[in-house]
Amino acid sequence: MRTVLCRLISSKTIYTATLMGGLMATLANAQSLPLKRDPQQGRAMVITTRGVAAASQTLAAAAGAKVLEQGGNAIDAAIASNAVMGLVEPESNGIGGDLFALVYIAKEDKLYALNASGWSPASMTREALRARGHVQMPESGIDSVTVPGAVAGWHALRERFGRLPFSKILAPAIQYAEQGFPVTELIAGDWQSTLAKLSRQSHSRKVYLPNGNPLKVGEVFRNPDLASSYKRIAESGRDGFYQGPTAEGILALMKEEGGLMSAADLREFQPEWVEPISTTYRGWTVYEVPPNTQGIAALMMLNILEQFPIGNLGHNSAESLHLLIEAKKLAYADMLEQVGDPKGASIPVSTMISKQYGKVRAAEIDTAKANCRAVPADLAHIASLPGADTIYLTTADSEGNMVSLIQSIYLGFGSGLVAPGTGFVMHNRAGLFTITEGKTNTVAPRKRPLHTIIPAFMRRGDVKITFGIMGGWNQAQAHAQFVSNVVDHGFNVQSALELPRFTKRTFEGCDVEIERRVPDAVLNRLRDRGHLIQLSDAFDSAVGNGQAILRNGEGVLFAGSDPRKDGAAIPASPSF
């Protein structure tokens, strides 16, 4: 931030040189929908007018489609899908975690943003944590737990925009939890990888290791405790979670483990409706949820990339990938320095997403050489954090309403702790605070940590797209790649999700992970620029998994689901 204005003049040359290319790309894109199909696209888009749900597990997507068929709208369908996701992909999400959503309401032509991320316990101070022996924020165990915000988020969504009662919305999840479902392929693998964490606590072993081991592909899993927790929400809404037997289970866990959370921390928590933040990118407007999320980094990346003729450089060419990677480093450096809970902090959001700032940061990119140190100096805690497990889903109905929703318990199986009798694991979002004094994201009572999970939305005129790509610190950089695939290269939403991606989950150095589907010649030219490439498998979940829905001006829905997970986009059927 400190050198931004003094570098503005140096950015003028690069901006002038690329302005004409950017204008021509915008005019070309305005002539048609982004419907180009990549020759290697493995799945067809789902195209319908009756509504659609896309999620990373097919039973969850089907539940959303069923709710649409029963008269529910996109909001009802999103909650139904999310409830099933918490059962069928428990390592990644559940009602022990947090939620963010962007909701487009067609009759108002307005986008709403919901921040349902929970706060820290009132007793969680730096001093208390240090007295408990922590020199940095723990990533598992009881002191990594903050109040879960997801159920309060469901309640806020349904109360404001929903149509059906919770009893109908949660019916599919309750039935699957009671009667069981067969575990799918990729989820079974993720489950197996967390055996050590799940083995540490008797309650987690009871729920998630029913035979002493994680369930394998095709084995039927039942979770009657979770069914009971869902039934209490169906009967009493948010009070069925933050008060009563479920809350008592959480407080029993706190007593067993010596945790800091109180009944008041649960009872008094409320989610917040916030104003989306946005930027324009070659004629499209792209929206994210404001801080405390990392969504601002996606917008900053786009403002930087807009200074270059990406569309003329070739998709996933060495030249375009270099610019994307370098833009990621700059945007994330500023995001990590500035973003946290905005309450009590002065976060320069308008400056960070301004076009002027994007031009200045773009001028700092050396097109011939990778920058290995584009970060603030103090990253002792955050730079070491691993990736994360999250789910993203999206729904749209025949009336034009659309929901972009993301939900997570952070690292695989969160804190590793299950509250007795509840059937879900508590998340470990406190691990994203810093214990260093004086930072925007320093841990403090009743405060929300910097959050990795972000839903997104973009539009150009009557064309609207909900999208999201999960995966810890991968998310903002994956959003920017998706937008570039659509806007710069005209790909349809399925191709835009499937195409090879890179991810850089660290915040220093020149390391970067790239899927091996990128040609060797491109990789070698990136190495010549100084990038230290780690090859990941084709369709590797390390680069995240996403869903997307495009709605055109005639009400036709085009939906895509990333093959890197076990999910699908499933359309609603008419009544027969």
Distances 530 to 305, 325, 342 between C-alpha atoms, Å: 20, 12, 37
Q: In whole angstroms, give the CA distance from residue 508 to residue 52.
A: 40
User: What are the beta bridge partners of residue 404?
Assistant: 102, 394
| 3-state DSSP of 451-472 | ECCCCEEEEECCEEEEEEECCH
Q: How many other C-beta atoms can be found within 10 angstroms of the C-beta atom of residue 380?
A: 11
User: If you ran DSSP here, which 8-state letter would residue 326 be given?
Assistant: H
- The separation between CA 574 and the C-alpha centre of its own chain, rounded to angstroms, equals 31
Enter the tokens of residue 515: 């899927």
> Catalytic residues, which ones?
390
What is the C-alpha separation between 327 and 504, in angstroms, rounded? 11
164, 70 contact by CB (below 8 A)? yes
Contacts of 331 (CB under 8 A, 6+ apart): 297, 298, 300, 301, 304, 361, 476
Q: Which of 358, 293, 328, 257 is nearest to 477 (CA)?
A: 328
How many Cβ atoms sit within 10 Å of the Cβ of residue 430?
26
* C-alpha angle 23-290-3 in degrees, rounded to nearest 5: 65
Q: Which amino acid is at 424?
A: F
CA dihedral of 515, 295, 102, 571, whole degrees rounded to 10: 0
Q: Could you give the CA distance from residue 501 to residue 272 in angstroms, rounded to a whole number?
A: 33
Find the helix or strand (DSSP H, E) in which 62 lies: helix 58-69
User: Order of strands, edge to edge, in the sheet holding 532-536?
Assistant: 502-503, 511-515, 532-536
Residue 393: both structure tokens together: 């889903």
> Sign (positive/negative) of CA torsion 184, 200, 406, 381?
negative
CA–CA dist 170, 82 (Å, integer): 9
How many CA atoms are closer than 13 Å to the CA of 98, on its beta-carbon side?
33
* Overall residue count recorded for the chain in this entry: 576
SS3 of 140, please? Answer: coil
Neighbours of 312 (CB within 10 A): 15
